[in-house]
């Protein structure tokens, strides 16, 4: 199978440590990946992990069981992302797994994108990116992503909800093998607005989106009261929850399963996943970072890449 590309992330964070730990965990079972990173940096983190410089991603699978294959990249986190995306577009890797970056540091250096999601969309053709977080118990999609709550509510429209839901529906069919995805749309206000008594957004913006999606044959329901839609019984009734703003759906997922959560970018021509945590500066360099989310991201990227390679697209 074509290997995956793993980016370096923030050099001062835990990305290098969890990369090395992920290789130790997966070296015999796979999936194989190539680290687009600075070999000297990785060696300084843990000199006991064998590293193997490779000239191309194609060499990675053959050496993966014996050493971590490294495509040398000393240009930093952004250069690593750019190179990984180019390899994926060229079909030299099956997908991209990104290590955590610190957005504020990149902004200070002139980075023009809100985060990985938007940057990768620009690198791969400018498609509308949709961010999904997934763990075994739950999949969630925020309709608005890296915006303040005030700006998110101002940006929320029926059209944006419909576009996000369409991309999510298509990805669940193509990449996750769900023939008839069930989409649950959260309300904006407490109790989904209580018929307008607690805010007009649910009846004016969310409900028309649900109606439009259902008219297209998409199994969409809502607006759901946000405070009750994440119980075990409620989760059994849908395949993905769409929230209207970032924290509305990311808090439930990370509370349920922080260690196995995976960030997946939908709507791109390439597969991209990442762990659901940040750079963790407070524990960087101490050798205690948990690689579970990165390992889950690598495994999910391999699964999604395999589905695309098979042309998986179940009939409705």
Q: Is residue 246 a known part of a binding site?
A: yes
One domain, residues 101 and 143: no
Stated as kind and residue range, the H or E segment containing 179 is none
Q: Does the residue 115 lie in any domain?
A: yes
- Smallest CA-to-CA distance from 73 within 22, 169, 17, 9 is with 9
One domain, residues 247 and 286: no
One domain, residues 90 and 202: no
Residues 128, 220 contacting (CB under 8 angstroms): no
Whole-Å CA distances, 247 to 56, 73, 143, 306: 39, 34, 11, 31
Question: HEC string of 129-149?
Answer: CEEEEEECCEEEEECCCCCCH
In the prediction, which pLDDT does 314 show?
A: 43
One domain, residues 134 and 243: yes
One domain, residues 104 and 143: no
- The enclosing domain of 240 has a CATH number of 3.40.718.10
Query: Rounded to whole angstroms, how far apart are CA atoms 182 and 19?
Result: 35
In the prediction, which pLDDT does 312 show?
A: 52
In the prediction, which pLDDT does 29 show?
A: 95
Q: At what angle do helices 116-123 and 77-89 cross, to 10 degrees?
A: 50
Kindly write down the DSSP assignment for every residue of 191-206, as one continuous string.
Answer: GGGGGGTT-SHIIIII
Q: Is residue 117 a known part of a binding site?
A: yes
Residues 202, 168 contacting (CB under 8 angstroms): no
One domain, residues 136 and 234: yes
Name the stretches of the chain with pLDDT < 50. 313-316
Q: Is residue 254 a known part of a binding site?
A: yes
Q: Does the residue 31 lie in any domain?
A: yes
Q: Does the residue 275 lie in any domain?
A: no
Residues 207, 196 contacting (CB under 8 angstroms): no
One domain, residues 148 and 246: yes
Q: Does the residue 236 lie in any domain?
A: yes
Q: Which two tokens stand for residue 17?
A: 């440590």
Q: Does the residue 273 lie in any domain?
A: no
Q: Does the residue 276 lie in any domain?
A: no
In the prediction, which pLDDT does 46 show?
A: 95
Query: Rounded to whole angstroms, how far apart are CA atoms 43 and 19?
Result: 12
Q: Is residue 263 a known part of a binding site?
A: yes
Q: Does the residue 222 lie in any domain?
A: yes
Containing domain of residue 53, as a range? 1-127+281-316
Q: Is residue 191 a known part of a binding site?
A: yes
Q: Does the residue 274 lie in any domain?
A: no
DSSP 57: G
Count of structural domains, the chain: 2
């Amino acid at each position: 199978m074509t290997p995956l590309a793993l980016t370096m992330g923030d050099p001062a964070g835990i990305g290098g440590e969890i990369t090395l730990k992920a290789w130790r965990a997966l070296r015999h079972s796979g999936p194989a990946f190539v680290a687009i990173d600075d070999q000297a940096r990785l060696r300084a983190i843990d000199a006991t992990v064998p590293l193997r410089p490779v000239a191309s991603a194609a060499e990675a699978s053959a050496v993966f069981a014996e050493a971590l294959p490294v495509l040398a990249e000393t240009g930093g986190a952004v250069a690593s992302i750019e190179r990984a995306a180019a390899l994926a577009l060229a079909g030299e890797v099956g997908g991209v797994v990104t290590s955590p970056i610190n957005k504020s540091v990149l902004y200070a250096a002139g980075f023009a994108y809100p985060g990985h999601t938007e940057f990768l969309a620009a690198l791969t053709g400018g498609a509308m990116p949709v961010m999904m977080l997934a763990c075994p118990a739950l999949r969630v999609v925020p309709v608005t992503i890296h915006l303040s709550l005030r700006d998110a509510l101002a940006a929320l429209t029926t059209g944006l909800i419909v576009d996000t839901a369409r991309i999510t529906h298509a990805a669940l069919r193509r990449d996750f093998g769900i023939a008839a995805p069930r989409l649950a749309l959260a309300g904006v206000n407490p109790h989904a607005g209580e018929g307008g008594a607690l805010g007009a957004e649910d009846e004016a913006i969310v409900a028309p989106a649900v109606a439009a999606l259902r008219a297209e044959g998409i199994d969409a329901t809502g607006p759901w009261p946000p405070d009750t839609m994440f119980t075990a019984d409620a989760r059994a009734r849908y395949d993905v929850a769409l929230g209207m703003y970032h924290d509305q759906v990311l808090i439930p997922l990370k509370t349920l399963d922080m260690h196995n959560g995976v960030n997946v970018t939908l709507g791109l021509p390439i597969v991209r996943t990442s762990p659901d945590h940040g750079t963790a500066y407070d524990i960087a360099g101490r050798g205690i970072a948990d690689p579970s989310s990165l390992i889950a991201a690598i495994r999910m990227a391999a699964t999604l890449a395999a589905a695309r390679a098979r042309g998986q697209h179940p009939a409705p």
